[in-house]
Structure 1
């Protein structure tokens, strides 16, 4: 019996020691891609379609969203074999878009923003409400252009209705101190 127990112990020890074999795995490449998007290419133009779940965040601050979720230097590195002189990157969502022009070094040259169905900033909303009593806001659009990151122009175009009366207003967002589309 003593021999049987010793042989079982030796067998278990041998099994445990042989199970300690080191397995070397192949290299795994990981990268951070916070935008779970569809990408389309047309020449040196690339279009990113933003998921509905991120579209409010995108509309709130399009340039900030682009900076946080898009690395132009990495993008240039991935397209280095094409040797572009400039890049046009468009971000589309259900309510609007941001077009960004970059030079070959990755510097932001200009942007164009277009958004529909935006929620007007509180200051503009209150002024319109006070000046147009009885009217209902039916459409609100926002468009803006930047040179680099400096806002060159920003406009809200809103449509108001009161029965058969209709009004269309263009409001310069820079004059009101507001220059970001908020949804």
Structure 2
């Protein structure tokens, strides 16, 4: 009786296994995208809009943020059928942007950064306060350019007000002190 039950179960299992069809799935492309961003394309230019929750991290170190959250080689693979000669990738946040130019192999050629309402470093803040007592900081903007990953120039443009008196300072961010003041 045992052998009859085992034989029936083996026959039933063999029938079920042979009745199934093999389904061939289409190729699936997967890539790592830690940012949940919206992407807009205009020719060979792509714009990534960064969410508000990540904008502080982005403004603190834009190039480091790009390196940590954007893989140019994966991007080139995804757009390979378009055969671009260069890529312009822009990262936008509420307070600023980073434009990065890459060649067709993915080498970083240059970047341009523009940020508004930035937090100044402690030594710059202290120098401005010491040299311009009575003034209130109303605006602090930051702009920078790199050649490859080497910082070519970086400037803070600061607006100060004391009643009706206004001053604009331009500070070289690569130096530790206050640079040339312009009215």
Structure 1 and Structure 2 fold alike (TM over 0.5): yes
- Give the 4+ runs in structure 1 shifted more than 4 A: 24-30
Kindly indicate whether structure 1 or structure 2 has the higher relative contact order, using CA contacts under 8 Å at least 6 residues apart: 1
Q: Distance in 1 between matches of 2:28 and 2:76?
A: 23
In the TM superposition, what whole-angstrom CA distance separates every residue of 1:136-160 from its partner, at most 9, and x where no partner exists? 0000000000000000000000000
Deviation, 1:176, is: 1.8
Q: Distance in 1 between matches of 2:40 and 2:143?
A: 23
1:121 corresponds in structure 2 to: 121
Deviation, 1:175, is: 1.7
1:6 corresponds in structure 2 to: none
What TM-score comes out, normalization by structure 2 length?
0.82
Q: Distance in 2 between matches of 1:63 and 1:154?
A: 13
Can you give the 5+ residue segments of structure 2 that lack an aligned partner in the other structure? 178-183
1:164 corresponds in structure 2 to: 164
What TM-score comes out, normalization by structure 1 length?
0.82
Q: Distance in 2 between matches of 1:119 and 1:94?
A: 15
Q: How many aligned residue pairs are there?
A: 166
Deviation, 1:34, is: 0.7
Can you give the 5+ residue segments of structure 1 that lack an aligned partner in the other structure? 1-9, 178-183
